[in-house]
């Protein structure tokens, strides 16, 4: 943040006595861009409450407000023209081994959560490619890892504490609020400010990760399920050249009596003998351990290690979810655009996710395969290519990842997200005056 921004932000806290009580005084606000730096937030007003009561007062005092997580989304989903609220000071964690749940403050990241629960013998079912994201922010957008049988991260949510537009604290749980709960979990920050999330946990487990090089994509025509079932979590990376996956990352659980060994060959692909980064030429130092070395789930399920910059750093991302049984056809459709895609691409990743019943989840009632693009930071060019990809994937009813870059019109989103009318009704119930609506929601949920 530059000096002007810092002074403006500090000023915002100090002008109102109400707000100044919530600032940490000497602590400068978070940078005013997202993690990637491709999106600059439209307000300098960032509230940093330390308690749920302070969250309630912030919510009551603002006409417009949006919760900000760890800033890892690539579009304006967390933006506001008036006020943002960061829950990073709400970082309490409480494990309940009896009910096999953990309750976390909305500021907690997966990187903080994982060693805490692992130390007490527990794990969550899956993680995204990086641990740096907040639990609340990830679950709000349907963030996922990979694995045919693994639902996205939000499927672990069993309860949420939310401060709604009137400043009241509402607790919604899977058990008690069966009808509306599936609409509230992946809420794109629209329902209110989540202050606490309760997640299902399971006994901790060990994982071995290995990488194979150069798998012909032709094998996916008849073996897609088998290839993605070859581990607990499987990712294929491709640059769309030569009809091949340059790397296959397989993460296997270490279970007694079941072999987790890696054969030297996998559908003709060769087992790597050195540690690799998904991007050719990048050091693998920031990647999680490979070469089949067993380790705790949270040090193998993400691709990137906690204390290092994930991925490339300066990048953009887009991702589309298709029905898994149409996965190979969808790959062939995108492959036709390789000459337009590859010059602007760092890498594509293919993953699978189990179906769920969360209304705004891209995996809603559909076992999915995702086609992800890590782009070079070349937005003018990427903006031209995205509509072409979306057109190629239209026959497969590809749903975009809410937190990444897409150009699909809202009229199309309505066709793809079948529960959009119910979601709108839920937002109207908890936020009748649109306090938590921002431009992203106005365009993508209410536009068109």
Q: Which residues of the chain form contacts with ligand FAD (CB under 6 A)? A: 35-36, 66-73, 77-78, 87, 106, 128-130, 133-134, 136-138, 140-141, 143-144, 188-189, 193-194, 310-311, 401, 403
Residue closer to ligand FAD (CB basis): 131 or 327: 131
Pairing of strands 206-216, 157-163: unpaired
Query: Is the Cβ of residue 130 or residue 220 nearer to ligand FAD in the bound state?
Result: 130
Please report how close the Cβ of residue 62 comes to ligand FAD at its closest, in angstroms. Answer: 14
Go through 185-218 and write b for each residue having 16 or more CB atoms within 10 A of its CB, e for each that does not: bbbbbbbbbbbbbbbbbeebbbbbbbbbbebebe
In angstroms, the CA 31 to CA 41 distance is 9
Which pairing describes strands 345-353 and 233-238: parallel, antiparallel, or unpaired? antiparallel
Tell me how far, at minimum, the Cβ of 47 lies from ligand FAD, in Å. Answer: 12
Q: What is the largest CA-CA distance in the chain?
A: 67
The least CB distance from residue 263 to ligand FAD, in Å, is 27
Question: By C-beta, is 219 or 304 nearer to ligand FAD?
Answer: 304
Query: Shortest Cβ distance from residue 291 to ligand FAD (Å)?
Result: 22
List helix spans (H) across 314-374. Answer: 327-335, 338-341
Question: What's the gap between Cα 291 and its chain centre?
Answer: 26
In whole angstroms, how close is the CB of 121 to ligand FAD at the nearest point? 26
Show the tokens assigned to 50. Answer: 């330390």
Q: What's the min distance (Å) between Cβ of 218 and ligand FAD?
A: 26
Q: Judged by CB, which is closer to ligand FAD: 77, or 408?
A: 77
* Beta carbon of residue 401, minimum distance to ligand FAD (angstroms, whole number): 6
CB nearer to ligand FAD: give 244 or 368. Answer: 368
- 211 vs 439: CA distance, rounded Å: 41
Decide whether 230 or 374 has the Cβ nearer to ligand FAD: 374
- Closer to ligand FAD by CB, 158 or 219: give it: 158
Shortest reach from residue 429's CB to ligand FAD, in Å: 16
The distance of closest approach from Cβ of residue 322 to ligand FAD in the complex, given in angstroms and rounded to an integer, is 15
Q: Which is nearer to ligand FAD, 69 or 400 (CB)?
A: 69
* Helices 379-393 & 327-335 angle (0-180, nearest 10): 130
Taking the complex as a whole, the smallest distance from the CB of residue 374 to ligand FAD amounts, in Å, to 8
**Separation in Å, CA 31 to CA 3, 23, 396, 403:** 11, 15, 38, 19
Residue 76 near residue 440, CB atoms below 8 Å: yes
Burial pattern 326-350, b for ≥16 Cβ within 10 A else e, equals: bbbebbebbbeebeebeebbbbbbb
Tokens of 316: 């953009």
Instruction: Name which of 67 and 165 has its Cβ closer to ligand FAD.
Output: 67
- Total residue count of the chain as it appears in this document: 448
Token pair 């060769």 is at which residue? Answer: 270
Instruction: Please state the φ and ψ torsions of residue 239, each to the nearest 5 degrees.
Output: -105, 10
Both tokens of 117, joined, read 């629960």
Nearer to ligand FAD, 122 or 375 (CB): 375
């Amino acid at each position: 943040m530059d000096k002007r921004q810092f002074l403006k932000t500090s000023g915002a806290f100090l002008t109102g006595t109400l707000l100044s009580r919530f600032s940490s005084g000497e602590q400068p606000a978070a940078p005013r861009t997202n993690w990637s730096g491709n999106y600059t937030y439209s307000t300098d007003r960032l509230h940093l409450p330390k308690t749920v009561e302070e969250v309630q007062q912030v919510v009551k005092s603002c006409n417009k407000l949006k919760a900000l997580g760890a800033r890892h989304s690539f579009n304006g989903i967390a933006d506001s023209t008036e006020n943002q609220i960061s829950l990073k000071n709400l970082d309490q964690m409480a494990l309940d081994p009896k009910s096999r749940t953990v309750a976390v403050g909305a500021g907690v990241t997966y990187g903080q959560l994982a060693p805490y629960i692992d130390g007490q013998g527990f794990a969550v079912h899956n993680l995204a490619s990086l641990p740096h994201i907040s639990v609340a922010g990830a679950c709000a957008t349907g963030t996922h890892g990979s694995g045919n049988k693994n639902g996205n991260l939000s499927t672990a949510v069993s309860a949420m504490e939310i401060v709604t537009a009137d400043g009241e604290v509402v607790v919604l749980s899977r058990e008690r609020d069966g009808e509306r709960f599936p609409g509230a979990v992946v809420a794109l920050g629209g329902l209110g400010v989540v202050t606490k999330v309760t997640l299902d946990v399971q006994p901790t487990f060990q994982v071995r990760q290995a990488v194979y090089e150069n798998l012909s994509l032709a094998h996916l025509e008849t073996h897609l399920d088998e290839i993605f079932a070859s581990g607990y979590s499987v990712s294929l990376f491709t640059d769309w050249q030569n009809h091949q996956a340059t790397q296959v990352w397989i993460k296997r659980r270490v279970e007694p009596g079941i072999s987790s060994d890696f054969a030297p060959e996998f559908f003709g692909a060769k087992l790597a003998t050195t540690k690799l980064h998904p991007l050719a030429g990048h050091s693998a130092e920031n990647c999680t351990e490979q070469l089949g070395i067993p380790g705790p789930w949270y040090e193998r399920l993400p691709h990137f290690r906690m204390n290092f910059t994930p991925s490339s750093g300066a990048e953009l991302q887009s991702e589309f979810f298709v029905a898994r049984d149409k996965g190979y056809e969808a790959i062939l459709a995108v492959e036709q655009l390789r000459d337009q895609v590859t010059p602007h691409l760092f890498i594509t990743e293919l993953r699978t996710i189990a179906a769920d019943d969360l209304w705004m989840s891209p995996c809603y009632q559909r076992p999915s395969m995702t086609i992800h693009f890590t782009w070079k930071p070349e937005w003018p060019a990427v903006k031209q290519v995205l509509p072409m990809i979306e057109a190629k994937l239209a026959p497969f009813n590809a749903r975009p990842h809410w937190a990444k870059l897409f150009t699909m019109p809202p009229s199309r989103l309505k066709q793809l997200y079948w529960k959009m009318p119910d979601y709108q009704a839920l937002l109207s119930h908890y936020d009748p005056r649109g306090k938590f609506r921002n431009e992203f929601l106005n365009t993508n949920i209410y536009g068109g």
